[in-house]
A and B are shown apart, each in its own frame.
Chain A
Amino acid sequence: MSLVTNEECLNPLLVNAKQKSQSTKGLKVLAIDDNVVCLKVLGSVLEKCGYTVTTTRNANEGLEMLRKNKESFDIVITDVVRDDMDGFKLLEAIGLEMDIPVIMTSANGDTRTIVEGIKNGARDYLVKPVKMEDVKNIIQHVTSKNTIEEDESPISGNDTNIDTNELVQESSTLLVKRKSKNSLQYEDEETNTGSSGGESCPPRKKNRMRWSKEMHQKFLDAYYQLEADSLDKVVPKRILEIMNEPGITRENVASHLQKFRNGLKKQNAILNQDSHWKSDANNIARKLPETSNNNMFANHKACLVPRNQYEQVLFQQNALPVGNFAPISTYSMLDNRVYRPVLDANALSQPDLKRWRRKMDDELLKIPHNYANFGSGQFYQDPVSSAPVSLNYVGTPYQMFGQVSVSPQMTYISPFDSTGLVSSTPGQLEGGDLVSLNGRGVPDFGVGANGSPINFSLDDDLSTIVQQFQDISAPRL
């Protein structure tokens, strides 16, 4: 907390020393309060501070006094909660009719009340009980501001720049600080200046700049505009010129720019962390046993890697949907062939994924018609041996087809026979029956969509694979 003493107040106003001495001493204050006790205490406090005090309980009477002689009072202090007249209306009336600063007091330090008061033109507020220190500080603050405004135009800002949100923010921070029974935090007084709205304050204080949404948007526009030219051009000076906003200085822009850049860096760091994951995936994937015939699958490492930390958590909780991929049901399931998508590490970034997925969809659609495609490697099917392994690596059952999870113990539906005939019906998505393994741990290539059995002899590649699979005696887990 920084209390400003009289001397500091005077420094910038040495020029108007005469006026200043007039304003602190012999100030004529009008105090209006419904409550007799509060009024008496307040009156006494003000007198002790050296001001000339007039007190009244009646708001109308107070207004009359003000109207009768406009010069008679320098400050009005009034309670906002009153019987005879709405306190806020009173505030407004005084503020509008006569250009006298009004300070509001209130028994409750409600944020809402404070904000209402300030919106209606209160220069400052005091929460009861009013202490001598508070009163002194406030009046000095209010009158010193007055003096400045008489001489110079406000340093920066005008009412329109500050939107209500900020006012509320400022008021509430002010309120929070006031609620602590310490003496006023003079600093906050500087930034919350009620009816004058703007951030005008004695010249010796630096402007505390608040970036409103609109201003930030302007800043962003300027930033991107400059960035389009070239990254070097993004300097605070140029941004300031483009923004063309009164009331901000180059320093404000500079610090904001710095914060913005830091924010960008952080974002990039997070993205890079993803790629860090990618490289991990590579390492892990390579640990999978690779059969010699994995040429076809060389590019496709079975791995399901979380793209970010959130997914990692899901991942561990077995809650991760099928590798961020669309549920397999979106692939045309024309037979009960399950194509568990396998990604290579490079394909982990989202846009690629989409592209890849689309490609895969297209390819899958071609399944029934052209099994030759199988050899092109676009249908990704895990080598059986690696399937359970990858699952083990993952440690979690895959969730295929949405809710259905397949355990590493895959149920196999029917033995594999060389003709490829399978007894399971295509297209049935029942829990657990999705992946059929034959006794040899070879996935069943079920019946084609058109019902015809798959004839492996048709395709050289296929038959090679099948051959190789047949060599495997048992599924490697």
Chain B
Amino acid sequence: MLGLGMERLRTDINRLLALLFHQGVLDEQYLQLQQLQDESSPNFVSEVVNIYFQESEKLLRNLRSLLMDREFSDYKKMGVHLNQFIGSSSSIGAKRVRNVCVAFRVASEQNNRLGCLRALELLEHEYCYLKNKLHELFQIEQQRLLAAAVRYPVQH
């Protein structure tokens, strides 16, 4: 029974990944991350992704507070934040988030406040979607690991 469960889990993971790739949410860099995961760093992907989430939320908060400010004029600072965001997103393989950031950066270079606001909204939306999906992915992965562990119980 656990064996069947494992199969199902594995196909779930693959299906989800395939979906994300198809939607353009993730790209090949994510596969790179997976390749970097090995025995020496077994949780590499989830570690990196969690750091990414933390950083991104900080950045998003900063960006929002900058834009909400009435007397906002520091587009340069926003550009710096965005640069960070672009860098980290591309290192993760979060393609859609990265693209929105690039568009955001363009709007900020043009000092286009309205464009920036729209981009921010879109960015938050994309980021939320990514986060949810990745969480889901990790959950299934977790279950699969558990199932695998149970399958081969450690003999004390």
User: Which residues does A use to contact B, with CB under 8 Å?
Assistant: 34-38, 40-42, 44-45, 48, 79, 81, 83, 107-108, 128-132, 181
Contact = CB atoms under 8 A, between A and B. Distances in A.
Contacts of B51: 36-37, 40
A107 B87 contact: yes
A37 B33 contact: no
B50 to A, nearest CB: 10
7 contacts: A35-B91, A36-B55, A36-B88, A128-B90, A128-B91, A129-B29, A131-B32
A83 B93 contact: no
Contacts of B44: 44
Contacts of A36: 51, 55, 88
Pick from B28, B29, B84 the residue with the most CB of A within 10 Å: B84
B99 interface: no
Interface residues of B, number: 24
Contacts of B92: 37, 41, 129
A37 B52 CA distance: 6
B80 interface: yes
A129 B36 contact: no
A130 to B, nearest CB: 7
Nearest to A133: B32
B32 A132 contact: yes
A41 B30 CA distance: 11
B48 A107 contact: no
B87 A38 contact: yes
Contacts of B93: 129
Contacts of A108: 83, 86, 105
Contact of B48 (A40, A48, A81): A40
B155 interface: no
A41 B48 contact: yes
Interface string B137-148: 000000000000
A44 B36 contact: yes
Contact of A37 (B35, B41, B80, B88): B88
B32 A38 contact: no
